[in-house]
A and B are shown apart, each in its own frame.
Chain A
Amino acid sequence: DAKTTQPPSMDCAEGRAANLPCNHSTISGNEYVYWYRQIHSQGPQYIIHGLKNNETNEMASLIITEDRKSSTLILPHATLRDTAVYYCIVRVGSNTGKLIFGQGTTLQVKP
């Protein structure tokens, strides 16, 4: 079973920041939080991952709470092309790439 909980859907206005929350209250100390997104019928696209510290790359920022029980993915300036299903995943184990996907959050960016 997935170790994360996400809202099923969210809306965001184009040009505004999209903040996608994720709860992972049972996360262990060495487990990473990964974010992927999937645009309809395409393969999931890697966005960002983190362990304890906040992370930023060209696509997004990842904010992880100090107790590591939740995180937020931030898309700073959402565009219509950011409309997708966003998956928050806790990768279980350090010697495997196995990802357990939940249902994700469907983000709808509106003009």
Chain B
Amino acid sequence: KAGVTQTPRYLIKTRGQQVTLSCSPISGHRSVSWYQQTPGQGLQFLFEYFSETQRNKGNFPGRFSGRQFSNSRSEMNVSTLELGDSALYLCASSRGLGETQYFGPGTRLLVL
């Protein structure tokens, strides 16, 4: 069974731009979560989706948003990029809420 896939794997943007990252969960998984990893803050939870509804949100500004589609695929968007948004963005999927999460390889975003 294929794992979690994330596209693109690498991305370079400039300050003020916006970016959209994509995540395809493991087949049959209906829950998707997003995390941000930086050297200074470590791995931090962004948000969690299940059945196209956001179920949980971490402590991030409103510039960070996401959505989930009916096929469980998910996207996250960051608007008005700042230098501090440079990070590895990780997506994880699980069969349902509260079940074991499996992570994708991540998208590495560099903001210049």
Hey, which bits of chain A sit against chain B, CB under 8 A? 34, 36, 41-46, 49, 87, 91, 93-103
B45 touches A99 (CB 8 A): yes
CB distance from A46 to the nearest CB of B (A): 6
Chain B residues with CB under 8 Å of A91's CB are: 98
B106 touches A42 (CB 8 A): yes
B43 touches A44 (CB 8 A): yes
Hey, which bits of chain B sit against chain A, CB under 8 A? 4, 31, 33, 35, 42-45, 48, 55-56, 58, 88, 90, 92, 94, 97-106, 108
B90 touches A44 (CB 8 A): yes
A-B contact count (CB 8 A): 64
Chain A residues with CB under 8 Å of B106's CB are: 41-43
A95 touches B98 (CB 8 A): yes
B98 touches A93 (CB 8 A): yes
Most B-side CB within 10 Å, residue of A34, A44, A45, A100? A44
A103 touches B42 (CB 8 A): yes
Bound: A49/B92 CA distance, A: 16
A97 touches B97 (CB 8 A): yes
- With known contacts A42-B106, A43-B104, A46-B101, A96–B56 Cβ distance under 8 A: yes
A97 touches B98 (CB 8 A): yes
Chain B residues with CB under 8 Å of A34's CB are: 100
Closest to B92 in A: A97
Chain A residues with CB under 8 Å of B45's CB are: 98-100
B94 touches A97 (CB 8 A): yes
Ordered by A's residue number, 20 sampled pairs between the chains whose C-beta atoms are within 8 Å are A41-B106, A43-B90, A43-B103, A43-B104, A43-B105, A44-B43, A44-B92, A46-B103, A91-B98, A96-B56, A96-B98, A97-B92, A97-B94, A97-B97, A98-B56, A99-B35, A99-B45, A99-B101, A100-B45, A101-B44
